[in-house]
A and B are shown apart, each in its own frame.
Chain A
Amino acid sequence: MTINPDLQGRSYPAAEVYDVGREKIREFARAVKATHPAHFDVDAAKGLGHADLVAPPTFAIIIAQRADAQLIEDPEAGIDFSRVVHADQRFTHHRPIFAGDRLVAELHVDGVRAMGGGAMITTRSEIFALGSGDSREPVTTTTSSILVRGEGQ
């Protein structure tokens, strides 16, 4: 299994819209054992000056991994999902994610390097909130490296 080195520099445009729902924020918050009231209680979130429930700091992984799936499932990429290990992850929030946001992600493949029999692939998702008309607002930049393990690794 060989990773296609030509992946570097490739981009995948924003595809489907992700609608951030209150129950999804609550479900994700419970799943990471987060307890802050701003994830659960609209009044608590408003009390902190927010328009609606605030997503946990790693919530954007849902949108980022959907974007990554375009690459992982791309037959040209040559990636065996069962041999993928997450190596690093970063979230830079330009603003918090709130319930009611309509988000899209642009995926960029920033790096591909061979490691042993496998490869380390670094991707970046630029996540935007759709506004009125054609406007969109930068919300979060995520960067992620995955190690695709070679045989015996």
Chain B
Amino acid sequence: MSLSIHELSPGQDIGSRTVEVTRTDLVKYAGASGDFNPIHWNEAFATGVELPGVIAHGMFTMGSAVQLVTDWAGDPAAVVDFQTRFTKPVLVTDTTGTEEPGATIEVSGLIGKLDAEANTARIDLTVVAAGQKVLMKAQAVVKLS
């Protein structure tokens, strides 16, 4: 897919994606990323440091949200800038041994801004878990063809 700035307009919807998360996913992310902070896999540790329970890595949420943008852009290399603030933790309950997810993250995106000079589109993502926005100012800049 190649995207031309002339066919795009601010406010345009780029779609949505649902990401189901389990404790196993957090262990996999810990291993893949090298972030072994026990707040992401050990309930007793997490509650011991005054968290409500095991929470997802902010970087898991950020990293899984951008897939929507990558698919829209057609090439992961087109994502030239990506930022977010982490505002609420994603609590992941222990559903080990069942088919149920421990949390569900809903991602949707729209075109926030077009820059004709740089030939880029800024995608603004809305990322929600348990009815709360977990990321704020989640913005990805895509280089257009």
Name the interface residues of A1-51: CB closer than 8 Å to any CB of B. Answer: 24, 27-28, 30-36, 38-39, 48, 50
Name the interface residues of A26-83: CB closer than 8 Å to any CB of B. Answer: 27-28, 30-36, 38-39, 48, 50, 54-58, 61-62, 65-66, 81-83
Q: Give chain B nearest CB distance to A30 CB in angstroms.
A: 7
Known interface pairs A33-B67, A61-B63, A149-B49; 4 further A-B residue pairs with C-beta atoms within 8 A, sorted by A's residue number: A32-B29, A62-B33, A66-B34, A153-B50
Q: Which residues of A contact B (CB under 8 A)?
A: 24, 27-28, 30-36, 38-39, 48, 50, 54-58, 61-62, 65-66, 81-93, 96, 149, 152-153
**How many residues in B have their beta carbons less than 8 Å from beta carbons of A?**
40
For B84, give the chain A residue with the smallest CB separation.
A89
Are B63 and A32 in contact, CB atoms less than 8 angstroms apart? yes
With A27-B32, A66-B34, A82-B37 given, is the CB distance from A89 to B86 under 8 Å?
yes
12 pairs of residues in contact across A and B, judged by CB atoms under 8 Å: A28-B32, A30-B32, A32-B60, A54-B75, A54-B76, A57-B76, A57-B79, A58-B82, A65-B34, A85-B89, A92-B81, A153-B50
